[in-house]
């Protein structure tokens, strides 16, 4: 299937089945703003829960926090975001389209001129036609700051009470370092995790939920000793990040690593690697891992006057910890789960669309059907089975249309198990359970259903 077709089919399924749709549609839509519908929000929650369990609950060396979206503006001044969190922007004077200048220069010439505005303008004028109208009449290339500004109804916070929506979740973790250290028994190396919204005024958002202006991140700041063997920890984290993507369904051969060349690293970073995934529109960043040295804690110590240090009782040394930061985009994780699961196949001469989510990820774990809607005795038992399962799993009861139609609907939302109550159930309390992927149907006692499904999910 052509990549463009595949993406369109995924987007259309997402809207049709209530995973993701353009937000604010009744007011004509709002650029690149998406709503996670009933199944999308279950899927999102499952991914967050899997991440939190894997990286926080199942480990003793990582704790979680939940910080605010609007933080003290001085944080973003100290971190350099208010001055340097910029992308190069250019407008086509003919059709008024707006682009990221570095991206269109690289696409057209293969040259990576990130940060070099004058050279970008020169190449644009000499060689690059507008990707939208094909003409060549460019504005100057300008730096565009991606921080979302807002204002606070308080006085004395800062000049004009300007505040910012956080562009990443990491900031709150750094400025809470001392509180976390004082309130837990963590010893270095240890990590602090957070899941939450981040906001970036992207020049060009797009590719569905790949690049958004409002998105969610799952980040961990691992605090390490300056002189430790960080290379092996770095490798371990890359493996964990790839492992997590595969738990969402990604195939190994659709993942690759891209190490940022030394000359393009931020001045404080010792090493940065992106985990890329092959989306229908090509290999692009999914997750990132960076060695951030002691930059963040040092700069916040200097600007706030609060010492963000660690005292190592074993060595009697006091130091500012260094940081390894694995960062995970939640919306991109959702896109990976959807793309990895999306499948079209022929079954008994009929075409079916199925989302083959790993059971842990699937928004609905089981659907319960009475064989016939007009047989009250079947409907009543099916409702009992549903009531019994719904406290353990997200389940659906469906008695609408024929069984084939009900299966097709559940296949499209990726439900791994469909349970049918039929006349044999009334006799011997057994039900059929149909496996979404193998289509195999077995009969089991309705009392065994919980264990059976639990085992399959685990």
Q: Tell me, rounded to whole angstroms, the distance of Cα 185 from its chain centroid.
A: 30
Residue 329 is a binding residue for ligand GAP (CB under 6 A): yes
CA distances from 324 to 237, 276, 327, 333 (A): 9, 19, 10, 21
Q: State which residue, 217 or 446, has the beta carbon closest to ligand GAP.
A: 217
Residue 285 is a binding residue for ligand GAP (CB under 6 A): yes
Residue 217 is a binding residue for ligand GAP (CB under 6 A): yes
Question: Which residue from 94, 202, 247, 309 is in contact with ligand GAP, where contact means CB under 6 A?
Answer: 202
Question: Which residue from 39, 287, 342, 386 is in contact with ligand GAP, where contact means CB under 6 A?
Answer: 287
If binding means CB under 6 A, how many residues of this protein chain bind ligand GAP? 18
Residue 164 is a binding residue for ligand GAP (CB under 6 A): no
Q: State which residue, 325 or 422, has the beta carbon closest to ligand GAP.
A: 325
Q: Of the ranges 1-9, 149-157, 280-288, 427-435, which one interacts with ligand GAP (CB under 6 A)?
A: 280-288
CA distances from 168 to 75, 76, 218, 290, 326 (A): 12, 10, 9, 14, 13
Residue 331 is a binding residue for ligand GAP (CB under 6 A): yes
Q: State which residue, 124 or 170, has the beta carbon closest to ligand GAP.
A: 170
> Which residue from 310, 359, 366 is spatially nearest to 337, judged by alpha carbons?
359
DSSP labels for 181-195?
HHHS---SSEEEEEE
DSSP labels for 11-28?
HHHHHHTTSEEETTGGGT
Residue 381 is a binding residue for ligand GAP (CB under 6 A): no
For tokens 């149909």, name the residue.
434
Question: Which residue from 43, 147, 170, 453 is in contact with ligand GAP, where contact means CB under 6 A?
Answer: 170
How many CB atoms are located within 10 Å of the residue 258 CB? 14
Residue 168 is a binding residue for ligand GAP (CB under 6 A): yes
As a whole number of angstroms, the distance between CA 287 and CA 51 comes to: 13
Residue 327 is a binding residue for ligand GAP (CB under 6 A): yes
Residue 292 is a binding residue for ligand GAP (CB under 6 A): no
Residue 191 is a binding residue for ligand GAP (CB under 6 A): no
Q: Residue 438: CB partners within 8 Å, gap ≥ 6?
A: none
DSSP labels for 19-63?
SEEETTGGGT--TT-EEE-HHHHHHHHHHHHHHHIIIIIT-SSEE
Q: State which residue, 288 or 414, has the beta carbon closest to ligand GAP.
A: 288
What is the SS3 assignment for 430?
strand
Residue 211 is a binding residue for ligand GAP (CB under 6 A): yes
Q: Tell me how far, at minimum, the Cβ of 216 lies from ligand GAP, in Å.
A: 8
Residue 215 is a binding residue for ligand GAP (CB under 6 A): yes
Q: What residue ranges bind ligand GAP (CB under 6 A)? A: 168, 170, 200, 202, 211-212, 215, 217, 219, 285-288, 325, 327, 329, 331-332
């Amino acid at each position: 299937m052509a990549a463009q077709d595949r993406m369109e089919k995924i987007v259309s399924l997402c809207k049709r089945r209530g995973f993701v749709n353009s937000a604010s549609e009744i007011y004509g839509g709002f650029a690149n703003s998406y709503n996670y519908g009933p199944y999308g929000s279950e899927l999102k929650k499952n991914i967050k829960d899997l991440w939190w369990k894997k990286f926080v609950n199942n480990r003793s060396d990582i704790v979680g926090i939940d910080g605010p979206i609007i933080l003290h503006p001085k944080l973003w001044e100290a971190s350099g975001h208010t001055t340097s969190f910029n992308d190069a922007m250019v407008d086509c004077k003919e059709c008024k389209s707006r682009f990221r200048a570095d991206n269109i220069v690289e696409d057209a010439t293969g040259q990576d001129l990130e940060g070099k505005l004058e050279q970008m303008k020169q190449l644009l004028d000499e060689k690059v036609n507008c990707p939208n109208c094909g003409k060549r009449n460019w504005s100057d290339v300008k730096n565009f700051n991606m921080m979302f500004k807002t204002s606070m109804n308080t006085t004395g916070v800062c000049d004009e009470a300007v505040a910012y929506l956080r562009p990443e979740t990491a900031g709150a973790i750094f400025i809470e370092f001392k509180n976390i250290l004082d309130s837990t028994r963590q010893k270095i190396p240890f990590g602090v995790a957070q899941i939450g919204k981040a906001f970036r005024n992207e020049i060009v958002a797009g590719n569905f939920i790949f690049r958004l202006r409002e998105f969610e991140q799952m980040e961990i700041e691992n605090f390490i000793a300056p002189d430790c063997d960080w290379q092996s920890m770095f490798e371990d984290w890359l493996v964990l990040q790839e492992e997590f993507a595969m738990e969402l369904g990604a195939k190994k051969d659709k993942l690759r690593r891209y190490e940022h060349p030394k000359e393009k690293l931020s001045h404080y970073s010792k090493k940065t690697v992106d985990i890329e995934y092959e989306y229908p529109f090509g290999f692009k960043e999914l997750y990132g891992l960076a060695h951030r040295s002691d930059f963040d804690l040092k700069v916040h110590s200097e600007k706030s006057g609060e010492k963000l240090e660690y005292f190592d009782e074993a060595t009697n040394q006091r130091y500012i910890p260094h940081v390894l930061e694995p960062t995970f985009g939640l919306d991109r994780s959702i896109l990976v789960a959807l793309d990895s699961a999306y499948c079209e196949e022929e079954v008994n001469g009929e075409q079916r669309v199925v989302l083959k989510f790993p059971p842990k990820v699937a928004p609905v774990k089981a659907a319960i059907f009475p064989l016939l809607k007009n047989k009250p005795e079947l409907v009543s038992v099916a409702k009992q089975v549903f009531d019994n399962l719904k406290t353990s799993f997200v389940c659906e009861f469906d008695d609408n249309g024929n069984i084939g139609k009900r299966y097709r609907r559940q296949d499209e939302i990726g439900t791994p198990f469909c349970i049918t109550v039929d006349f044999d159930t009334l006799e011997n309390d057994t039900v059929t359970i149909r496996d979404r992927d193998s289509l195999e149907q077995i009969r089991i006692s309705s009392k065994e259903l919980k264990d059976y499904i639990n085992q399959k999910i685990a």
